[in-house]
Amino acid sequence: VQLQASGGGLVQAGGSLRLSCAASGSIFSIDAMSWYRQAPGKERELVVGITSGGSTKYADSVKGRFTISRDNAKNTVYLQMNSLKPEDTAVYYCNADLTYYSGSLLLHMYDYWGQGTQVTVSS
């Protein structure tokens, strides 16, 4: 199983980026999917999460600017980031709560991490 994040880059303050995270492999189901971020010298923090039913939870710092969505058929979660600020600069990671096949077994993992994608917002 792999979580492949993409879409990061360098953008000026006030600009927008759209991140994607696609899960692939022997996946049976995906429950919650989330985006976290980690800025230099800081702890990793939750940005936003979304359940399989579409319920969302945003960090206060991104409410009204970021929008999470998911395509369950594609096992993909998106993060639309608007009105970006320099303080949004961080490595963004996707995370999934998923069930997958391992041979004939079904295994559940609560915290499956993808590789990060760098978002840099210049002032």
pLDDT band at 98 (very low <50, low <70, confident <90, very high): very high
pLDDT band at 45 (very low <50, low <70, confident <90, very high): very high
Which of 78, 87, 25 lies closest to 48 in space, CA to CA? 78
Q: What is the per-residue pLDDT for 89? A: 98
Calculate the average pLDDT of the chain.
Answer: 96
> Other CB atoms closer than 10 Å to residue 58's CB: what's the count?
18
pLDDT band at 69 (very low <50, low <70, confident <90, very high): very high
Task: With beta carbons less than 8 A apart as the criterion, state whether 27 and 1 touch.
Answer: yes
